[in-house]
Structure 1
Amino acid sequence: MSRESRGQVQETRWRSLLPVIGDHMEWFDALVQNLFYFEMKGKLLGVEKPLSFSDWIKGARQDGIVQGELLENLASMHKDMMRASDKLMVESKEVQVKPEFEAFQTFLNIYEEFMQRLRRLERDFLLDGTGYDPFTGLRSPKVLFQDIERELHRLSRRGKHFCIAYARVDGVEGIEKNYSEEEQKGFVKIVADLIKLSVRSFDDAYYMGQYEYVLCLKQADMAGGVSALERLRKELERKNILVRGEGGEAPLSMSCCIAQPVQGDDVRELLKNLKNDLHSSNREPDSVLEYYELSPLQRYVQETTQQ
Structure 2
Amino acid sequence: MELRPLRSFIAAAEDGNISRAAARLHLTQPALSRQIKGLEDELGVILLERGAHSFSLTPAGELLLRDGRNLLERADALEQRVRATAKAQTIRVGYSPSLSAGILSPAIEAFTQVHPRARVDLADLTNNEMVDGLQKGTLDIIVTVPTIKDIPDITWTTVQKQAWRVAIPRQHPLLEKKTLVPKDLHEQRLVVYSQKEYPDYWAFIGAWFKQQGINARIASECDGVTSLISAVDAGLGIALVVERIACLIPERVVLKTLNPQPEPLQISVGMLDRHKNDKMLAVFVEELKRAGEVDHASR
Query: TM-score with structure 1 length normalisation?
Result: 0.24
Larger Rg: 2
Higher helix share: 1
Higher strand share: 2
Query: TM-score with structure 2 length normalisation?
Result: 0.25
